[in-house]
Structure 1
Amino acid sequence: MENKKGILLDSGTNEVEFLEFLISDTSFGINVLKVREIINPTAITKVPHSHPNIEGIIELRGEVLPVISLRKALSIDSKSSYNEDKFIVSEFNGMKVILRVDHVTQIHRLSWSQMDKPASLNQGLEDHVTGVIKQEEKMILLVDVEKIIYDIYPNMEGSLNPISRSINPERGKKNIVIAEDSPMLRKLLQETLLAAGFEHITFFENGKETWDYFDEKVRNGESKVDLLISDIEMPQMDGHHLTKMLKEDRSLTSVPIIIFSSLITDHLRHKGEMVGADAQISKPQLTKLIDLMDQFLFEDVK
Structure 2
Amino acid sequence: MRQLVIFSLNDEFYGMDIFSVNEIIKLLKIVSLPSSVSFIEGIINLRGKVVPVVDLRKRFGLPKKEYTDDTRILVADMEGHLAGFIVDEVLEVASINDDSIEPAPRALIPEAPFIEGIAKFKEKLVIMINAAKIFSFEEKQELLKVG
Q: TM-score range by the shorter chain?
A: 0.7 to 0.9
> Structure 2 residue aligned with 1:153, among 140, 143, 146?
140
Aligned length in residues: 142
Q: State the match for 1:129 in structure 2.
A: 115
Whether 1:73 and 2:59 are equivalent positions in the alignment is yes
Correspondences of 1:212-227 after superposition (within 5 Å) = none
Q: State the match for 2:16 in structure 1.
A: 30
Secondary structure in 2 aligned to 1:20?
A: strand
Structure 2 CA distance for partners of 1:139 and 1:120, relative to 1, 3 Å: farther
> Structure 1 residue aligned with 2:95, among 109, 134, 143?
109
Higher helix share: 1
1:121, CA displacement in angstroms? Answer: 7.6
CA distance in 2, matches of 1:81, 1:135: 26
Correspondences of 1:1-302 after superposition (within 5 Å) = 15-77=1-63, 79=65, 83-119=69-105, 126-135=112-121, 137-150=123-136, 152-153=139-140
Structure 2 CA distance for partners of 1:47 and 1:31, relative to 1, 3 Å: same
CA distance in 1, matches of 2:66, 2:11: 7
Among all aligned residue pairs of Structure 1 and Structure 2, give the percentage whose two residues are the same amino acid. 26
Structure 2 CA distance for partners of 1:103 and 1:49, relative to 1, 3 Å: same
Scaled by the length of structure 2, the TM-score of the pair is 0.82
Scaled by the length of structure 1, the TM-score of the pair is 0.42
Q: State the Cα deviation string for residues 215-267 of structure 1 (Å, max 9, x = none).
A: xxxxxxxxxxxxxxxxxxxxxxxxxxxxxxxxxxxxxxxxxxxxxxxxxxxxx
Structure with the bigger RCO (C-alpha within 8 Å, sep 6+) is 2
Tell me, yes or no, if the aligned pair for 1:35 and 1:91 is still in contact at 8 Å: yes
Higher strand share: 2
Please provide the CA RMSD for this pair. 2.8
